[in-house]
């Protein structure tokens, strides 16, 4: 893996057991919400066609959602993620495989850490939640808290089971102020018209009935501070869980409050002992909510596709590339760290001579000029309108640069 590619891990957010990947057949999608979009069966049919015959949907996870929200203008990503296309397989079929992967060392260590945090009936985890977020609440009893069994078949079943457990936890909290720990619950969030199933590391129900999202990460908190970029990514991911939980809460009566301060649990210094910090995700929640709302609905993008379009990795590369090209992409270098298809999009952007390959900031200062050749022609006075401030600035820049290089 290249240094700057931290990369999404396959399948899920944090360290821990793999979620149930066997997302049900496309025909059952949308059953989670009784209020599915109008014409949902037709859309599901369409998305199944896009994936190709016999290809099951790859569920969206919070990490993918957070990345999607960071680049909401990318229709290609919205459609492929929305339709549950396996982008890793697609990228390989296109001849630009994603270099993402996870080292088994990191995986083992992450597992061991999460098991330690949640061990002993979640006693340590609840102690951290109480200490960092709710110090006035009663201490959980020595035997730990209520830890309901959330096992069920398929993501829909698990989502239903989680909702039920949350309802029961609310009742238990109201009755005798009990703490409840939900270990790997499953939540559903509708994104661009298709439901995404999300699996937070844990959700805690406080004695006052409020809910807290817990993120367990294996990067260290060194002397009380952690890598800002990694904390930011964890906060964006947690914000997606908060949004999904608010969906569940809205359907309960009375509606419990989802706390906007989440608990981030990390190893302390160089040890494997957990330490935690409360992270305010109000901003990330607001941004993600707005960006997800802006995502063009998948059906609208799908409607613009040629009839019979399909992203099955078994199709010949040329035909696949053509279909992929027919959906508009917005490539930026940041995509390289978050999207499996980024290397394909980058090579296309390079072929097209788009200046976005240099980053968003480069694009911003060049005004309406978006092609490498157009910019260089404008800079060297071969094209462009001198009255355009962007062109004038470019010409001055080119003149100054030539002058400086001449006196070497």
Partner 1 sequence: MSLITTLARLEAIRAGRAQPAATVRHRHLSERPLVLVPLTTAGEAGAPLGALVGRDRDAPRLLVVPQPRDRDLRSVFLAELADIVLPYLESFADDVELVEGKEADPETGRQVTVERELCADAPQLIVPSRAGVDLVRLLGRSTRFRRTAEQDPETAYPAPPRVPLLGRWFTHFGERSRVPGASLLLAMTDLLSRHWATGQSSLEDQHLGALLAWIDPPGADGPTGAEAALRAELGRDAEGQLLCPPAGPATDPAFDNRLLAPAIERYDRARSALAAAEDGVAADALLANLSAAEREIGELVRSRTLPTWESVWRGLDLLRELPEAAHVPDRWKGDRWSFTAHRDRVASGEPPQPRIDDAVTAAQKLARREKEQAKLDAQEALDDPLVLAARRLGGEAFVGEVVDVTMTYTESKRPSPRPLITVRTEDRPHLGEKAKVHRSLDGKPQTAQFVGAEEEDGGEDPGGGPLLVVLRIVDRMGRGREPALGSVPEKGDRVCFTLFEHEPRGGPKLPDPENTPWTHGGPPTDPSPLPAADPVTEEDLL
Residues lying near partner 1 in the complex (CB under 8 A) are found at 1-4, 97, 99, 101-110, 112, 116, 218-220, 222-224, 267, 269-273, 333-334, 336-337, 343, 347, 350, 353, 355, 357-359, 361-362, 365-366, 372-373, 375-376, 379, 392-394, 396-401, 403-405, 407-408
Q: How far apart are CA 136 and CA 130, in angstroms?
A: 8
Q: How far is the CB of 106 from partner 1 (least distance, A)?
A: 3
Q: How far is the CB of 371 from partner 1 (least distance, A)?
A: 10
Q: How far is the CB of 5 from partner 1 (least distance, A)?
A: 9
CA 202-207-212 angle, 5° bins: 30
Q: What share of the chain is helix, strand, coil (3-state, %, to 5)?
A: 45, 10, 40
Report the half-sphere exposure of 373 (CA within 13 A, side-chain side).
Answer: 4
Q: How far is the CB of 143 from partner 1 (least distance, A)?
A: 25
Nearest to 138 by CA among 177, 88, 95: 177
Nearest to 146 by CA among 130, 166, 161, 128: 166
Nearest to 163 by CA among 181, 183, 179, 187: 187
227/247 with CB nearer partner 1 = 227
Q: How far is CA 226 from the centre of its chain?
A: 20
Q: How far is the CB of 115 from partner 1 (least distance, A)?
A: 10
Q: How far is the CB of 111 from partner 1 (least distance, A)?
A: 10
Residue 354, SS3? Answer: strand
181/375 with CB nearer partner 1 = 375
CA 363-367-368 angle, 5° bins: 100
62/379 with CB nearer partner 1 = 379
194/218 with CB nearer partner 1 = 218
17/27 with CB nearer partner 1 = 17
2/136 with CB nearer partner 1 = 2
18/176 with CB nearer partner 1 = 18
Q: How far apart are CA 404 and CA 389, in angstroms?
A: 22
137/393 with CB nearer partner 1 = 393
Q: Is the dihedral of CA 327, 330, 336, 337 positive or negative?
A: negative
53/270 with CB nearer partner 1 = 270
Q: How far is the CB of 108 from partner 1 (least distance, A)?
A: 7
Q: How far apart are CA 185 and CA 183, in angstroms?
A: 6
- Alpha-carbon Rg for the chain, nearest whole angstrom, is 24
Laid out side by side, the sheet with 180-183 consists of: 180-183, 202-205, 211-216, 261-267, 274-280
Q: How far is the CB of 214 from partner 1 (least distance, A)?
A: 20
Q: How far is the CB of 69 from partner 1 (least distance, A)?
A: 19
Q: How far apart are CA 233 and CA 210, in angstroms?
A: 24
Tokens of 61: 């996870």
What residues pair up with 277 in beta bridges, in sequence order?
Answer: 264
Q: How far is the CB of 220 from partner 1 (least distance, A)?
A: 4
295/374 with CB nearer partner 1 = 374
Q: What are phi and psi of 151, to 5 degrees?
A: -65, 140
């Amino acid at each position: 893996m290249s240094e700057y590619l931290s990369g999404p891990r396959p399948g899920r957010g944090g360290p821990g057991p793999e979620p149930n990947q066997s997302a049900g057949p496309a025909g059952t999608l949308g059953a989670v919400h009784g209020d599915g979009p109008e014409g949902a069966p037709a859309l599901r049919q369409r998305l199944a066609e896009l994936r190709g015959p016999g290809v099951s949907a790859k569920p969206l996870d919070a990490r993918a959602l957070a990345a999607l929200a960071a680049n909401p203008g990318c229709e290609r990503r919205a459609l492929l993620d929305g339709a549950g296309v396996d982008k890793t397989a697609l990228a390989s079929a296109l001849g630009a495989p994603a270099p993402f992967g996870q080292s088994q060392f990191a995986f083992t260590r992450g597992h061991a850490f999460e098991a330690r945090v949640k061990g002993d009936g979640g006693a340590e985890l609840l102690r951290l939640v109480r200490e960092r977020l709710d110090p006035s609440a009663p201490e959980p009893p020595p035997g730990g808290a209520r830890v309901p069994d959330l096992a069920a078949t398929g993501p829909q079943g698990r989502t239903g089971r989680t909702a039920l457990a949350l309802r029961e936890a609310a009742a238990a909290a109201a009755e005798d102020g009990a703490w409840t720990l939900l270990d790997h619950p499953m939540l559903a969030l509708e994104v661009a018209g298709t439901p995404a199933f999300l699996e937070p590391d844990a959700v805690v129900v406080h004695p006052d009935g409020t809910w807290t999202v817990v993120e367990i990460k294996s990067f260290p908190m060194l002397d009380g501070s952690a890598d800002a970029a990694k904390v930011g990514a964890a906060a964006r991911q947690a914000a997606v869980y908060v949004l999904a939980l608010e969906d569940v809460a809205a359907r309960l009566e009375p509606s419990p409050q989802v706390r906007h301060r989440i608990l981030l649990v990390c190893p302390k210094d160089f040890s494997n002992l957990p330490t935690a910090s409360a992270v305010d995700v109000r901003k990330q929640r607001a941004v993600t909510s707005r960006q997800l709302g802006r995502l063009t609905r998948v059906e609208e993008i799908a409607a613009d596709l040629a009839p019979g379009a399909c992203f099955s990795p078994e199709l010949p590369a040329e035909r696949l590339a053509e279909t992929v090209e027919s959906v508009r992409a917005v490539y930026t270098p940041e995509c390289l760290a978050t999207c499996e298809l980024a290397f394909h999009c980058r090579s296309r952007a390079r072929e097209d001579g788009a200046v976005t390959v240099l980053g968003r900031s480069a694009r911003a200062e060049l005004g309406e000029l978006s092609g490498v050749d157009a910019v260089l022609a404008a800079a060297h006075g071969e094209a462009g309108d001198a009255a355009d401030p962007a062109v004038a600035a470019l010409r001055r820049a080119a003149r100054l640069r030539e002058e400086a290089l001449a006196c070497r």
